[in-house]
Amino acid sequence: MNTLHLGCDADAIAQAAALLRAGRCVAFPTETVYGLGADATDPAAVVRIYEAKERPRFNPLIAHVPDVDAATREGLFHETARRLADAFWPGPLTLVVPRAPQGGVCDVARAGLDSVALRVPAHPVAQALLRATARPVVAPSANRSGRVSPTRADHVAGDLDGRIAAIVDGGETRVGVESTILACLGGDPVLLRPGGVPREAIERLLGRGLAEAQATGDDASAPRAPGMLASHYAPRAGVRLDAREIFPGEAALLFGEPRPAGVDHAIAVRDLSPSRDLAEAARNLFAALRALDESGAHTIAVAPIPRTGLGEAIADRLARAAAPR
Ligand code: TXA
Ligand code: MG
């Protein structure tokens, strides 16, 4: 398959929307990472995403819609869910809610669940594409399954060229880590995945602490994100966390000062944020992992990074990158 490389002007958006409506897969930028889109109402189109990504099993996908009105046609929002939607949409938040009986997101996209994951992205290109497509669009990150998520169009091309219909290039993504996922299935919201909206902002709105999903699913009634595999975002190199020293043969991923001992001997070095700004670090995380992986180092040693704010999502992604495979 010849993958079209599109810009993001009005013609490109119209072309991309036509492809989506014809059941093809199109990668496009959101403010978090690039997504691989398909018509959420078309099971054959959704299956093409799993094939292109080589996703090992059918995980439910996030349906992207342009606004809260479109979201409430797909899902049932209780009062707290509605408050979260009003406060954080458009933006890097995904809400898992009971599906609306008349909703269009197909069974394959929801992996047969009675709930649906919904997100209203803020990126202007994503917004324009969703409005032009006029259907909910499912979009996992536009990488081969298990690999590092793409924050630039050339990352997408490296993983998926020849496997998808088109890539819409909207430049570098602003947030850099995927959306925060909250389950709102009745009772208090539950954090399924830390992401682009920091926990603290959600807790401020709720006026209380946020419960977390069980990491392991012994309790079948506990809501969790089935796609949260322990090993994920896996570079070829090994990943070593909380490194205060860099050993021979390692590449170094830094977070400003203090720099770990031995960093001058590192095979390659990337600093996520010289000024120790967590938003900047989140934005740079995936591109830095890709670059250090390409250095040929056997291990990427990562300096300690605080876990507050966006640091929680960064720590989550790094823990998955470091997990045994
Ligand atoms: O920022 C993002 O969220 C990006 C961009 C492209 O929007 N998308 C993304 O999608 O990260 P993906 O497929 O990598 O992650 C979807 C997550 C999975 O962990 C999946 O298990 C969970 O959402 N999920 C989807 N539907 C669910 C449901 N009904 N119940 C629980 N978890 C669900
Ligand atoms: Mg992903």
Q: Which residues contact 207 (CB under 8 A, 6 or more apart)?
A: none
* 3 state SS of 120: coil
Look at the block and give the residue holding tokens 């009105």: 69
Q: Which residues contact 188 (CB under 8 A, 6 or more apart)?
A: 80, 206, 208, 210, 211
Measured in Å, residue 277 CA sits from the centre of ligand 1 at 26
Q: How far apart are CA 150 and CA 141, in angstroms?
A: 7
pLDDT attached to residue 234? 75
Residue 292 pLDDT grade (very low, low, confident, very high; cuts 50, 70, 90): very high
Q: Convert the pLDDT of each residue in 188-222 to its tens digit.
A: 999 999 999 999 999 999 999 998 886 544 444 44
Q: Convert the pLDDT of each residue in 305-315 to its tens digit.
A: 999 999 999 99
pLDDT attached to residue 225? 61
Nearest atom in ligand 1 to the alpha carbon of residue 142 is 6
* 3 state SS of 313: helix
Measured in Å, residue 32 CA sits from the centre of ligand 2 at 11
Residue 59 pLDDT grade (very low, low, confident, very high; cuts 50, 70, 90): confident
Among protein residues, the one with the nearest Cα to ligand 1's atom 33 is: 225
Q: How far apart are CA 269 and CA 134, in angstroms?
A: 44
Q: Which residues of 47-80 are buried (b: 16+ CB within 10 A; e: fewer)?
A: ebbbebbebeebebbbbbbbeeebbbebbbbeeb
Ligand number nearest CA of 213 is: 1
Nearest atom in ligand 1 to the alpha carbon of residue 59 is 21
Measured in Å, residue 249 CA sits from the centre of ligand 2 at 29
Q: Convert the pLDDT of each residue in 77-89 to its tens digit.
A: 999 999 999 999 9
Measured in Å, residue 61 CA sits from the centre of ligand 1 at 5
Among protein residues, the one with the nearest Cα to ligand 1's atom 10 is: 140
Alpha-carbon distances, residue 23 vs 10, 38, 43, 91, 157 (angstroms): 20, 7, 9, 26, 20
Q: Convert the pLDDT of each residue in 156-197 to its tens digit.
A: 999 999 999 999 999 999 999 999 999 999 989 999 999 999
Residue 230 pLDDT grade (very low, low, confident, very high; cuts 50, 70, 90): low
CB 313 within 8 Å of CB 279:
no
* Residues pairing with 252 in the sheet: 269, 301
Q: How far apart are CA 212 and CA 186, in angstroms?
A: 15
The number of C-alpha atoms within 13 Å of 247 and in the hemisphere containing its C-beta is: 8
More confident residue, 126 or 56: 126
Among protein residues, the one with the nearest Cα to ligand 1's atom 19 is: 227
Residue 235 pLDDT grade (very low, low, confident, very high; cuts 50, 70, 90): confident
Q: Which of 30, 31, 32, 61 to mutate to test the pocket of ligand 1 (most atoms within 8 A of CB)?
A: 61
Nearest atom in ligand 1 to the alpha carbon of residue 64 is 7
Measured in Å, residue 250 CA sits from the centre of ligand 1 at 32
Q: How far apart are CA 173 and CA 203, in angstroms?
A: 26
Nearest atom in ligand 1 to the alpha carbon of residue 225 is 32
Q: How far apart are CA 110 and CA 153, in angstroms?
A: 27
Measured in Å, residue 318 CA sits from the centre of ligand 2 at 13
- Give pTM, 2 decimals: 0.94
CB 85 within 8 Å of CB 69:
no
- Across the range 255-264, mean pLDDT stands at 97
Q: What is the mean pLDDT of the chain?
A: 93
Q: Which protein residues are within 6 Å of ligand 1, measured from CB?
A: 30, 32-33, 35, 59-62, 92, 94, 96, 110, 113, 115-117, 119, 139-141, 178-179, 181, 192-193, 225-228
pLDDT attached to residue 324? 81
Q: Which residues of 234-254 are buried (b: 16+ CB within 10 A; e: fewer)?
A: bbebbbebebeebeeebbbbb
Nearest atom in ligand 1 to the alpha carbon of residue 226 is 21
Q: How far apart are CA 211 and CA 216, in angstroms?
A: 15
